[in-house]
Amino acid sequence: MDTNLTISKGIFVYKTKNIADYKRKDGTDNVFADQLWYQSFKSVWTKVEQKIEILNDEMFTGLLKNLVDSVKSSFNEKVTEVPTKTLLTGINMPDHVALFSTLCKEIKKSVTPHIAVLHTEHCSTLKNLVESAVDQFVNKVHSYESDGDELKSKIRKTYCTFAFLQAWYESLHGSTNSKRKTRSVAQPLVIIIPDFENFNEKSLQDFILIISSYLNVLPIILIFGIATSVNAIHRSLPFHVSSKINIQVFNTQPSHLYLNRIIESVLLTEDCPFHIGGKVFQCFTDIFLYYDLSVQRFIKNFKYAMLEHYSAHSIMALCTFSHKVNRVVEQLSDDDLAAVKSLQSVRDHIEGSDNFEETLIQGVQHFYSYLSMFHLYLKCLHSLVHSLPNCPLGKQVRELYSTATSGEITQSEGYIEAFKLLGFHSKQELTEKVSGMCLILEDHDGDEIQDVLAQLQEHLVKLEDATTEVAEEPKLGGELMLSEKMNRLQLKQKLRELTRAPKQLSNYDKARAALIQYLQDVFDKYLRHPSSVPFYELFFFNNLSIRQVLLGSHRSAIHTALNNPSYYFHCDCCKLTDDGRISASMPDISILYKLHLEYGKLINLYDWLQAFVTIVDPYIDSGEEDAENRPVSPEVHARFIQGVADLEFLGFIKSYKRKTHVVRLTWGG
């Protein structure tokens, strides 16, 4: 490895094949486009993505319509306060980009082309705030349209003031004072702040006061994105500032409800034959609930799992839409068919089968039917148990799905507890729940479904006609009557006999017990664990090791990279036989990292430099020159300074009050 290439430069050059070598004959860059598994993956993911986009549009349509209409009508009348729209977005920050990007497009299409989007990282001071806002108005390009590139300003930053903005706006639309009666015709200036809580409070307060002073000549509208609550505005803005703005609040749909809609309407339907197993699904939901509440990240995790599943073997191409199964089977090779036969769930199923391809098609089609019924009765079970006390099976369909795919749901403690609670329901409560289940079944066709529906309706009729009166209990025989003269042992025996006497049930109790027993029989039949059905491995992804990829161990990875760079570089020059050794061919930051592990809390920079020089530029004894006092070359000194700066940036060290020392912030490897 070249010792002049250091990790601090941040750029690594590897000699690879020409990109043209990877291009297909039709001009596309995807090297997997001809693979059978990739074609199935692409068709399924395209369908899933389309349905998710439709749900996105449905979710944003109502909210954005009301918000855009409010922006449009903000200056229909004379205003004395800055019109301010507060959008409560929730804490799922990664999803906000899509929301505000769509909002900008709608405002630009329906209201005004003058939009400025201000982000915390670019607006640390009041000067930056004003310059960024004016610059975006003049360029007519905001951050969501720049594709991550720096906006090319048409004017110098020093000219970006509100006085210049007023002159620019009046040159386009004329003076607003002369058109006060028709002010609503003028296109307003919309300033969007997606992350209100992260802004510097003092800068934001001054910015609002400046906007308020220009309100008579510039029709400015503010839109705040708030992750917590409206109280964040009152905590950040004192009264003399908050009194200058007119706040109107808009609420977005909570992210967990949005995720439930995606799972129920997209992932658990026939449009998505690919499924994830219970443990992997629980991992995804845990990441969602305990890390960032980001629906976009959940979808990306799902896509990654799908790609891992399909790319594992070409036989995973069978996980496609039912009408494409025949075509996929025709393209499978003999080795692929042998791989299908070796699946654990298929071995017993193919015994005595002469034509395996026909058996394969029928088995896959049967699995589609099973999945359809599985999803249907999962929703039916949810309609029965989601409102039970303490929710033994959870409140959401996703919780039921996780339980049903992790083990036999009908044998779980939550399932048993749920049906015990159903056994205590009144006639009205139980009738409402079963009627809701019937409504779900009515939306589906099929002889089996219609037969279950008919049976449920019969049970409902019996339930409604049944009375809750208990028949008069027959008088107990003389042998069970309690006599006056009886010792303690005899009394205990008589009471035990009385408790063993059969309890008299009402007609309603009998009808309820029969209905619950029938429901249990139905769920036992249709909510079997997917692994009990042949070809289960083709449709379910159960590799829990994906968690390490999605979450990762950042501290461990950084330590490994710095302590043993050959682990990632795969080069022989950095390979170490002993972790305690240091090689001159290692990157500078790795050498400095391993040296700093040998120090205590305080590290003397001069000693550290001398140790670094001894390794990267060893002294060759050729005379009487003292190796310790020889001058350090400027190149080596610069490399040392750069490496120390990189370690400080990574958080391993920090500056100390004595300039000759730095403080070590970590201990051990």
Neighbour tally for 59: CB within 10 Å: 18
Q: Which residue has the higher pLDDT, 478 or 332?
A: 332
Non-local CB neighbours of 562 within 8 Å, separated by 6+ positions: 589, 590, 593, 594
Q: C-alpha angle with apex 15: 10 to 20, nearest 5 degrees? A: 115
- Kind plus residue range of the DSSP H or E element containing 654: strand 653-655
Whose structure tokens read 């005004």?
Answer: 112
Distances (CA, A) of 587 to 3, 15, 98, 362, 634: 7, 19, 40, 59, 18
Q: Which residue has the higher pLDDT, 510 or 183?
A: 510
Average pLDDT over residues 580-584: 80
Q: C-alpha angle with apex 386: 382 to 390, nearest 5 degrees? A: 140
Q: Which residue has the higher pLDDT, 147 or 190?
A: 190
Residue 149: its pLDDT value, please? 47
Distances (CA, A) of 399 to 281, 285, 378, 386: 10, 9, 10, 10
- Going from N- to C-terminal start, the domains of the chain cover 32-56+254-408+532-551, 75-141+157-169+186-253, 417-468+505-527, 554-664
| Residue type for position 463 | L
Residue 32: its pLDDT value, please? 82
Write out pLDDT tens, residues 66-75: 888 899 888 8
- Kind plus residue range of the DSSP H or E element containing 414: helix 413-422
Instruction: Using the predicted structure, report yes or no on whether residue 623 has a pLDDT greater than 80.
Output: no
Non-local CB neighbours of 567 within 8 Å, separated by 6+ positions: 560, 561
Number of H helices, E strands in the chain: 26, 10
Residue 191: its pLDDT value, please? 93
Band (pLDDT 50/70/90 cuts) for residue 669 is very low
- Kind plus residue range of the DSSP H or E element containing 203: helix 201-213
- φ and ψ at residue 290, rounded to 5 degrees: -105, -5
Whose structure tokens read 């309100």?
Answer: 215
**Token digits of residue 327:** 């075509």
Radius of gyration of the chain (CA): 35
Average pLDDT over residues 224-231: 88
Write out pLDDT tens, residues 82-135: 999 999 887 766 678 878 888 888 888 888 889 999 988 888 889 889 988 998
Instruction: Using the predicted structure, report yes or no on whether residue 391 has a pLDDT greater than 80.
Output: yes
Where is average pLDDT lowest: 41-45, 128-132, 161-165, 621-625? 621-625
Instruction: Using the predicted structure, report yes or no on whether residue 19 has a pLDDT greater than 50.
Output: no
Write out pLDDT tens, residues 479-499: 445 556 777 887 888 778 777
pTM of the model: 0.75
Q: Does domain 554-664 have CATH number 1.10.150?
A: no
Band (pLDDT 50/70/90 cuts) for residue 152 is low
Of all residues in the chain, the percent with pLDDT exceeding 90 is: 33
Residue 490: its pLDDT value, please? 78
CA distance 324 to 334: 19
Average pLDDT over residues 461-480: 64
Average pLDDT, the chain: 83
Instruction: Work out the burial of residue 419: count CB atoms within 10 Å of its CB; fewer than 13 is exposed, 13-18 middle, 19 or more buried.
Output: buried
Angle between helices 356-385 and 413-422 (to 10 degrees): 50
214-246 burial string, b = 16+ CB within 10 Å, else e? bbeebbbbbbbbbbeeeebbeebbeeebbebbe
CATH class of 75-141+157-169+186-253: alpha beta
Query: Taking the chain, what is the end-to-end CA distance rounded to the nearest angstrom?
Result: 24
Average pLDDT over residues 447-452: 91
Band (pLDDT 50/70/90 cuts) for residue 625 is low
Taking the alpha carbons of 240, 243, 245, 251 in that order, is the dihedral positive or negative?
positive
Write out pLDDT tens, residues 29-83: 567 888 899 999 999 999 999 999 888 878 778 788 888 889 988 888 888 899 9
